[in-house]
Structure 1
Amino acid sequence: MQSKSSIKSINMTLLCLTACICQNLYAEAGSTEPVLLPTLKIEATRTDTDWLTTPASVYRIEQKNNENNLAVNLSEILKGVPGLQLNNRENYAQDLQLSMRGFGARSTFGVRGIRLYVDGIPATMPDGQGQTSNIDLSSLDHIEVLGGPFSSLYGNSSGGTVLTSTKQGEGRDSIELGYSGGSHHKGRANMTLQGGADKAGEPSYVVSSSYFDTDGYRDHSAARKVLSNAKLTWDLEDGSKVNWIVNHVDMNADDPQGLTREQWKANPKQVNDAKNIYDVRKEINQTQTGLTWTKPINDQHELYTMAYAGHREVTQYQSIPNTAQANPRHAGGVIDFSRDYYGTDLRWTGKDLLPNTRFTAGFAFDAMDEDRQGYENFDSAGNYGVKGKLRRDENNTLWNLDPYLQASWQFLPTWRLDTGLRYSNVHYQSKDHYIQGTNADDSGKTDYDKLLPSAAFTWEISPQLSTYLSYAKGFETPTFTEMAYPTTGTSGINFALKPSSSDNYELGLKAQNLLGNFTAAIFHSETQDDIVSAGTLDGRSTFQNADKTLRQGVELSWNKKLWRDLTAQASYSYLDATFDADIPNTDPQKVVYSGNYIPGVAKNQAYVALGWQPETGFNAGIDVRYMDKIYVNDTNSDVAPSYTVTSANIGYIWKNNDWKVRSYARIDNMFDENYVGSVIVNDATQPKGRFFEPADGMSWSTGLSITKAF
């Protein structure tokens, strides 16, 4: 158990570290002449501030600096962001494992606890369930990653926020054709059309489409993915701006599942079921569209409107034996659902209505209507991997209507106060249509709500140095998927699962001078009723509430253009994420004690990268990433070991007025490290848990693209 004195010691150590960094950077800034450095506007916090004076841990990643890769997974782009843990499962059926400061680490598939946005449109459902599969890297412009207290501005499940933005068409019409290939018969073909508007009122456009397939690193891990993305932009004569976005993804992926430690050591490439009788796999089809409109009324007032709608279908075949499905209340071994979702966000911004102030007020509405069925994964002849008899049939609906208010007051020339208030509420209802024998009516409904205040003080110590102190209340509801199975029994919605709430504190420092861009942040988060895994058995993930959890740590980052086109980047994260109260259990072996580490979370992460990135000609880069060990379950009985991996890439760009040719080659995991890419938290498969999802060994890829302007 971690004592209060030890926590106090950690906090004092981190405070002293920040103070020392602040003193050194301030001395450096004071000893140099003022320099004109690039201004980087930040959109995520809605405060109309640049990076240096934004009172939050926020990072912007430019896609143009990360083009030497296959452009399939978000993990290829989001490297070295402090506090962000992004693990590639080498399993396209289960998406990436994404967590921020330990929030979201429990997820066995998809993304939980973190808000995702694509061009201002939520890629996270109202209940907090998100996915990254529809993010198109071919047409991506940049990504903003927002962590810490300010994430509460986005409401439910905002342990962090990731916002991606598609390029805006510009200049002459052009077409780009590209192909990339790599290890395990990976192949990706893409085409991008784009062009700018000649005059106001005409649209600029970007239309991108790609096809990707692979045999997969592991046995039974093949995948096929078709992704299309289109964005039309109108810059109108009255100063308003309209964006229309359409996105479609169609994916089929085999699932090799997790391995036991013995299986991983013997052969990390193997599928869990050696005979592959269950043919575990997932099929996804999703289409969504959205419209954003920004309208400046005058110098003081501005309106913003966003509306979106989408349709998602998922069919998943699991590895559940027919003996388990003999229970009449079992929901079957095939999950099949169809989901319609839609929403809007309306916002008004007022500037200088009072001296040196900025107000934002609005409301966000989101809704989801889901038809979910469950089927047996075998037929009358005993063949697995097929859709059999119906075992579950229900309609699930949920919606939220969140009013919010933000205010910013520059009350002194170098001091600013930012405040926010959001009323987050989510309303669930499930109607059960499968009522047979002992399988009773499991219909029900529940409501969750929380008032989320936030506040931040910013002090601009000098034009090159600022510091901030912030606090916010966080809120996270269980997703419908997490409520789908109770901890006892085999069917019905777990309405007993409560939402979690958290108190989040952060002290930060930022510097931008001749030595580069620096950040340092100390954070402390206390969570009540944290949603944690209660075990995964036969593909069924169940969840429970932990009375108290604690997350605290420090994050450091630095980047600089060293000489001409030579850039350097480094980051370090320390995260102490623990249970702060016991979780009792009738089985003494399963009691979770206060002081145990939260599984799925690395205590230390580090990243270093060098890049030579001219606009044309030869380019190259190398990066090294370190990840500390990760506990696989709440009792901390086993771990995935720490690892260090190195990647390198080279490329060449040639262009003239009409043509551009880009080529690249890269090697990942250069030294063929045998490591676990991610873990399945609290897997309870007997006799030993299938916790481990092995990562790829040394792998390569290469690609060529040709662009022609007209």
Structure 2
Amino acid sequence: MNTLSRFTLLLPGLLTLGNSALADDTALVLDPSVVTGSRSASPTFDLPYSVDSISREQISDGQLGINASEALSRVPGLVVQNRQNYAQDLQISSRGFGARSAFGVRGLKLIADGIPASTPDGQGQAATFNLDTAERIEVLRGPAATLYGSNAGGVIQMFSRDGEGPPRIGAETLVGSDGMSKNHLTAEGAANGAGFVLDASRMDTDGYRDHSSARRDQTFAKLNFQPDDDSKLALIYSSLEQNGTQDPLGQTWEAYKADPRSVAPGALTYNTRKSIDHQQLGTNYERYFGDATLQVNAYTGRRSVIQYLSIPKGTPSNERGGGVVQFDRKFYGGSVHWMQPVESAPGELMIITGLDFDQSEDSRHGYQNYSGTTLGVKGELRRDEIDTARSLDPYIQANWALGNWTLQAGVRHSTMELDVDDQYLSNGDSSGSKTYQKNTPSMSVMYAFTPQLHGYVSAGKGFETPTQAELAYAPGSVEGFNFSLKPSESTQYEMGLKAQVNNTRINAAVFQITTEDELVVSQSLQGRTSYQNAGRTLRRGFELGIESQLSEQWSTNLAYTRLQATYDSDFNNSGKAIEKGNYLPGVPQTTLFAELNWKPRDWVSTALEGMYRSKVYVEDTNNERAAPAYSVFNWRARFEQKVEHWTFHQTLRLDNLLDRQYVGSVIVGDSNNRYYEAAPGRSWYAGAGAEYTF
């Protein structure tokens, strides 16, 4: 019997046990409040779309606090891959959006404390999320996400905690397999009416694969206070630094099977690596005017990146664009939101209007990755330009609760402008600009059949613009940006049920997404990748989320997704015929996460996690070897002791208990057939920490 079948048979028994064990009606927070989607705090049960909240305990209990994949796997509809490659960040997709991203997060809106972790063109970095300071993570999927503008196939929003309670300081250390270590210092609390959170950590790893070592330094500071009785203010600073992070590149199937820890020869020849220096500062201000609320957010920051690629010496693209990418980015922006209740309307009506502005400006350079006979160093200049992306989006939204009905509707006018100022003119002037505009409406309606059962329907339109990286090269040997690319446009429908039975929460949703002009790889040759619009795609799926408190000591969580993502029209890709009905690469048809938690005492908790993922196609023809399906199981435990002013804790974790060898992530459409990235075998982690409260 396969693992998926075991999970399916286990579920009814767990729910039956939960219903029989709840005679004491143990009260737990299975219906948290979120602001993502409605923009005002509302219980998830009362919102007419798919939205989930991951609590502070779920983010930190028995977890490493290194990658967002630790927390996001419990959300249906999401596929989160830890690539075991800190030079390329996580792979995250929502209902298929973002699955094609070659690096970083693409097509999803990432936000941390109101500060976008995505650029206006849709490229994001989940590594900037500081999990050690997270209070919660909210995940919005489906049509309602389109109200967050272009490139919002889903929204992942992290909120840091405020400084509260008596001041306290803490230290923690964690060690584990493959030379992993993390040291963490923190101070937080409140004094003289102001709260503060200070956090700093350093993570080192040799990496599971050869040539994949990394060091990550993160710092965070937050000051929150109330200037008066009607307002709140928070100042937030964060930084991320990674110097010389090694990049092992992808693996061919033969190399993966011969040695899962193997590295592509070019990675060693050219010492492929990446360095990142990221800093940002933001402020959030909220003021109450009677029943109305004004929210103002502003931020600024800088990001410097230098990356050494493995494009061979003598390759035309190395001579024209270079094998070393370097940019210095300045980014800034802000938003203004006004929330106004309408007292004269029946029921509860809230009108929300807002304006969001974001801009990033890159001073981008390209160099040859050799100098004379020395490889893997910065050579002659081959690219010099200023790339600017900006967006200015007004929107209006209405939230209306009337009897058993709940209506949320809105429209956003998204404008995204890309501008290229080419300052390297020996190969011609590639300067130019492109502006994309679209109205993205969304409407969701919910009906309360009973206080414990709600049903809803939701519909919306969205669009996804090309990123600067996707525009960077025209097809063939033509120099210049590919400004002929069009945005892909989607129409989304969703229908769902939300139920609360005793201490069990059940969310189920079916959805359909049709997309025109899907962005796909046109050509990947000699280190240069160009893109094209590919016609129509169709995604249909089912999501199920169940969270249950079985008794005072036992709880369980399940997230299941079934997704059929296919091309809905024929097209040609680099001379290859891609037929209607082919599956979109990078999108598994079935994903399942389940966990069983046991907390026999206040000072100890332990859990068993199981994950299943079906096979994943790696390119559009579906002819290359798909990454096989896999199942893995993990175990974690946390212990805590309190002695007067001191609190001590210990963490133990074992991942991949059965030592399964599998492909953890894929690189879609890699030109060298290096599609596969191996995941670690059995891994162990152990940590301990102490906190002193004044």
| Range class of TM-score, shorter chain | over 0.9
Distance 1:506 1:391, change over 3 A: same
For residue 425 of structure 2, the aligned residue among 417, 420, 435 is 435
What SS is found at the alignment partner of 1:184?
Answer: coil
Measure, in 1, the Cα distance between the counterparts of 2:659 and 2:28.
40
For residue 49 of structure 1, the aligned residue among 16, 33, 42 is 42
Residue 326 of structure 2 corresponds to residue 340 of structure 1: no
What SS is found at the alignment partner of 1:357?
Answer: strand
| Cα drift, residue 585 of structure 1 | 4.5
1:68 paired residue number: 62
Distance 1:274 1:497, change over 3 A: closer
For residue 148 of structure 1, the aligned residue among 126, 142, 149 is 142
2:630 paired residue number: 643
1:482 paired residue number: 470
Q: What are the Cα deviations for residues 406-448 of structure 1, in whole angstroms up to 9, with x where unaligned?
A: 012224x101211111001101110111111xx1111110100
Residue 205 of structure 2 corresponds to residue 214 of structure 1: yes
| Cα drift, residue 64 of structure 1 | 1.6
| Cα drift, residue 684 of structure 1 | 1.6
| Cα drift, residue 615 of structure 1 | 7.7
What SS is found at the alignment partner of 2:671?
Answer: coil
Measure, in 1, the Cα distance between the counterparts of 2:683 and 2:102.
25
Q: What are the Cα deviations for residues 657-678 of structure 1, in whole angstroms up to 9, with x where unaligned?
A: 4111110111101111111111
8 Å Cα contact 1:467/1:510 also seen in 2: yes
Residue 235 of structure 2 corresponds to residue 244 of structure 1: yes
| Cα drift, residue 651 of structure 1 | 2.1
For residue 354 of structure 1, the aligned residue among 344, 354, 367 is 344
Identity %, equivalent residues: 40
8 Å Cα contact 2:174/2:687 also seen in 1: yes
1:331 paired residue number: 321
2:271 paired residue number: 279
What SS is found at the alignment partner of 1:276?
Answer: helix
8 Å Cα contact 1:364/1:403 also seen in 2: yes
Measure, in 2, the Cα distance between the counterparts of 1:622 and 1:486.
49
Letter in 2 for 1:416: T
2:588 paired residue number: 602
1:444 paired residue number: 432
2:506 paired residue number: 518
Distance 1:620 1:585, change over 3 A: closer
Letter in 1 for 2:299: Y
Letter in 1 for 2:103: F
Letter in 1 for 2:660: E
Residue 427 of structure 2 corresponds to residue 468 of structure 1: no
Q: What are the Cα deviations for residues 168-226 of structure 1, in whole angstroms up to 9, with x where unaligned?
A: 1111111110000100110100001101244xxx3201010000111110110000110
Letter in 2 for 1:419: A
2:619 paired residue number: 633
Letter in 2 for 1:215: D
Alignment of 1:45-444 (within 5 A): 45=37, 46-65=39-58, 66-198=60-192, 202-252=193-243, 253-273=245-265, 276-299=268-291, 301-325=292-316, 330-355=320-345, 356-380=348-372, 382-411=373-402, 413-436=403-426, 439-444=427-432
Measure, in 2, the Cα distance between the counterparts of 1:136 and 1:593.
43
8 Å Cα contact 2:105/2:123 also seen in 1: yes
Letter in 2 for 1:334: V
| Cα drift, residue 452 of structure 1 | 0.6
| Cα drift, residue 123 of structure 1 | 0.4
8 Å Cα contact 1:63/1:77 also seen in 2: no
Distance 1:549 1:354, change over 3 A: farther
Q: What are the Cα deviations for residues 302-341 of structure 1, in whole angstroms up to 9, with x where unaligned?
A: 100000001001100000111204775x201000001101
| Cα drift, residue 236 of structure 1 | 3.8
8 Å Cα contact 1:615/1:653 also seen in 2: no
| Cα drift, residue 536 of structure 1 | 4.0
Q: Name the stretch that deviates more: 532-541 or 333-342.
A: 532-541
8 Å Cα contact 1:106/1:533 also seen in 2: no
Measure, in 2, the Cα distance between the counterparts of 1:275 and 1:244.
41
8 Å Cα contact 2:493/2:511 also seen in 1: yes
Measure, in 2, the Cα distance between the counterparts of 1:133 and 1:216.
16
Measure, in 1, the Cα distance between the counterparts of 2:398 and 2:304.
40
1:619 paired residue number: 605
Measure, in 2, the Cα distance between the counterparts of 1:287 and 1:701.
29
2:688 paired residue number: 704
8 Å Cα contact 2:396/2:411 also seen in 1: yes
Measure, in 2, the Cα distance between the counterparts of 1:646 and 1:134.
28
Measure, in 2, the Cα distance between the counterparts of 1:194 and 1:586.
56
| Cα drift, residue 533 of structure 1 | 2.6
Q: What are the Cα deviations for residues 228-253 of structure 1, in whole angstroms up to 9, with x where unaligned?
A: 11111113432311111101110131
Measure, in 2, the Cα distance between the counterparts of 1:468 and 1:508.
5
Q: What are the Cα deviations for residues 468-491 of structure 1, in whole angstroms up to 9, with x where unaligned?
A: 100011111111111112222264
Measure, in 1, the Cα distance between the counterparts of 2:690 and 2:267.
44
Distance 1:207 1:535, change over 3 A: farther
Distance 1:539 1:254, change over 3 A: farther
Residue 551 of structure 2 corresponds to residue 574 of structure 1: no
For residue 486 of structure 2, the aligned residue among 478, 488, 498 is 498
Letter in 2 for 1:676: V
For residue 670 of structure 1, the aligned residue among 657, 668, 692 is 657
2:8 paired residue number: none
Measure, in 1, the Cα distance between the counterparts of 2:28 and 2:552.
15
| Cα drift, residue 136 of structure 1 | 1.0
Measure, in 1, the Cα distance between the counterparts of 2:318 and 2:662.
38
| Cα drift, residue 584 of structure 1 | 2.1
Measure, in 2, the Cα distance between the counterparts of 1:655 and 1:127.
48
Measure, in 1, the Cα distance between the counterparts of 2:600 and 2:300.
40
RMSD, aligned CA: 2.1
Distance 1:610 1:375, change over 3 A: same
Distance 1:669 1:536, change over 3 A: farther
Q: What are the Cα deviations for residues 482-531 of structure 1, in whole angstroms up to 9, with x where unaligned?
A: 11122222642211111111000000110112150000000000011111
Measure, in 2, the Cα distance between the counterparts of 1:582 and 1:41.
44
Aligned length: 671
8 Å Cα contact 2:523/2:574 also seen in 1: no
8 Å Cα contact 2:522/2:574 also seen in 1: no
8 Å Cα contact 2:504/2:549 also seen in 1: yes
Letter in 2 for 1:643: Y
| Cα drift, residue 156 of structure 1 | 1.0
User: Unpaired runs of 5+ in structure 1?
Assistant: 1-20
8 Å Cα contact 2:309/2:323 also seen in 1: yes
Measure, in 2, the Cα distance between the counterparts of 1:33 and 1:503.
46
1:5 paired residue number: none
Distance 1:643 1:342, change over 3 A: same
Residue 495 of structure 2 corresponds to residue 507 of structure 1: yes
| Cα drift, residue 460 of structure 1 | 1.2
2:4 paired residue number: none
Residue 535 of structure 2 corresponds to residue 550 of structure 1: no
Letter in 2 for 1:659: W
Distance 1:354 1:492, change over 3 A: farther
For residue 578 of structure 2, the aligned residue among 582, 592, 596 is 592
Distance 1:428 1:271, change over 3 A: same
What SS is found at the alignment partner of 2:107?
Answer: coil
8 Å Cα contact 2:223/2:236 also seen in 1: yes
Letter in 2 for 1:44: T
